[in-house]
Amino acid sequence: MSNFRPLHDRVVLRRITPAEKTAGGIIIPDTAQEKPVEAVVVAVGPGARDERGQVVPLEVREGDHVLFGKWSGTEVRIGGEDLLIAKEADLFGIVGAR
């Protein structure tokens, strides 16, 4: 992932795959799996500019676990890994906030 740096207020996310089976072996269809989706932040941009042109740093940091909507962001393949690029505003929040 070291060869890609997001711009502005974008973040790069690695989805945390939900369990496809219960402990008893029952397969859970996509439509029944819990929403929203959880991911780990793997890279963050420097931030967006405010109305005065000042860069406002992002609230999320690399390593944060975040929640976002199932259809948020753009799927990309970087360094052979399937990742997601989204704007910080598309994120719902940080899991286990500091």
Tens digit of each residue's pLDDT (9 = 90 or more) over 48-67: 999 999 999 999 999 999 99
Does residue 2 register a pLDDT over 70? no
Per the domain annotation, does 63 fall within a domain? yes
In a domain, 91, yes or no: yes
Residue range 34-43: mean pLDDT, rounded:
84
Domain count, the chain: 1
Q: Give just the sign of the alpha carbon dihedral 88, 1, 15, 74.
A: positive
pLDDT at residue 70 tops 80: yes
pTM attached to this predicted model: 0.79
Domain assignment of residue 14, yes or no: yes
| Section 26-50 average pLDDT | 78
